[in-house]
Amino acid sequence: MQIREFARWFFKSDQPNARRTRRLVKFAIIFGLLIAVFWIVPIKNVIQALLETDPILFSIGVVLGLVAILLTSVQMKPLLDNQGINRSLWQVNNINLAVKFYLLVMPTSLVASGYRWYRYAQPEGKVAESFVALAFFRLFRTFLILTIGLGFLLISVQQNITFRVGWIILLILAIVVLWIVITRYSIPIYTWFRKHAGFILDRPFLASFLRIVEKLLSSASSYADMPLPALLLSMSAGILAILVGFASGVYLARAISIDLGFLELGWALSVMSLATQFTLSIMEGLGVREVTLIALLSLFNISAEQALAFSFLIFCRGFIISLLGGLIEAFDALRNNRSITPDTISGEGKEI
């Protein structure tokens, strides 16, 4: 009983001591992972691999990373417009770049999430609308990464199927149809399922999971009446953002002589991206990213040294983009004479 009470306090309590304990445990696990990785993998071999990095291929990877962020901004704008949050594409892109900066310099993603929420909610005071838009965007992007990664995996494991543009187009069409079904019919289907399977789902240990499912479906259904052109624009931009992000990863990998195909590296990067979204992650997945890449790339006979070097190049790409975001945020703050500090936005908000 005491163990159960402690677990409930640790995972669900909003008390300052509980939050502080969760934060300390998170940092301990992350640093433990990093120590274990560098204990197993000789650091000199990683440095040697990094010294042989092709600067041209690395630069292409960084530029493609910036293009992916711009496409993500194009994806977000229709979602914000649907909630009556009027921001230009330039403003949305600047906010996304600034979020990258806060994700890098702060030990938790909470501040970056709070910053994004604040910037979209103010000065109009559209707090609820901002939360709905960002919750939907997070769900939307996770859905796209999951489905594209799964599609790439299924295509790549078929040895007799070569890479063709037609397969990608078919996958995109399937994603469009599936997402329209989710946004328009998920709530009625879920309600019908709850009604006819209540004796199965009426279990205490499923209560938390079902509440999460209901929140996700509610977020998705809030955009059921979104105009089709806006939905298609957002979905197309989101898919392109992910594909360009995969292409960026391919160039980073080739910069250190990791020769993997677009499909193979694409599904591996999808798994990495999903893994780094866990609340355990800090600084855009530090620790989790390294362990995940070492495990996944070993399936392709890529050494741990090369996998770790690849992870470091991903970090460097994010660092360069984050610095750009920090510069834009600084110039924007000086121009508008704003004074926003992390303390004013961290609060106790929820992560978006």
DSSP string computed for 148-196? HHHHHHHHHH-TT----HHHHHHHHHHHHHHHHHHHHHHHHHHHHHHHH
Where are the chain's structural domains? 55-145+230-346
* Burial of 224 (C-beta count, 10 Å sphere; 0-12/13-18/19+): middle
Cα gap 176→236, rounded to integer Å: 9
Cα gap 270→265, rounded to integer Å: 9
The C-alpha angle 288, 293, 299, rounded to 5 degrees, equals 140
Quick check: bond before 204 cis, omega within 30? no
- In order along its 352 residues, the chain shows pLDDT tens digits of 466 666 666 555 666 676 667 667 666 666 666 676 667 777 777 888 888 889 999 999 999 999 999 999 999 999 898 888 888 999 899 888 888 888 776 655 566 677 788 888 887 888 878 887 888 888 888 888 988 888 888 887 765 555 566 666 776 777 777 777 777 776 676 676 666 665 555 555 556 666 666 666 666 666 777 787 888 899 889 999 999 999 999 999 999 989 888 888 999 999 988 887 765 555 566 677 888 888 888 888 898 888 889 988 998 998 899 899 889 888 877 777 654 455 544 444 444 4
Provide the pLDDT for residue 64.
Answer: 96
Cα gap 218→236, rounded to integer Å: 23
Provide the pLDDT for residue 2.
Answer: 61
DSSP string computed for 10-41? HHH--SHHHHHHHHHHHHHHHHHHHHHHHHHS
Q: 4 is written with which tokens?
A: 């159960």
Q: Do 325 and 70 meet the contact criterion of CB atoms below 8 Å apart?
A: no
106: alpha, beta or left? (left if phi > 0; alpha if psi -120 to 50): beta
pTM of the model as a whole: 0.76
Cα gap 307→258, rounded to integer Å: 9
Q: Do 48 and 217 meet the contact criterion of CB atoms below 8 Å apart?
A: no
Sequence-distant (≥ 6) Cβ neighbours of residue 305 within 8 angstroms:
41, 42, 45, 46, 48, 49
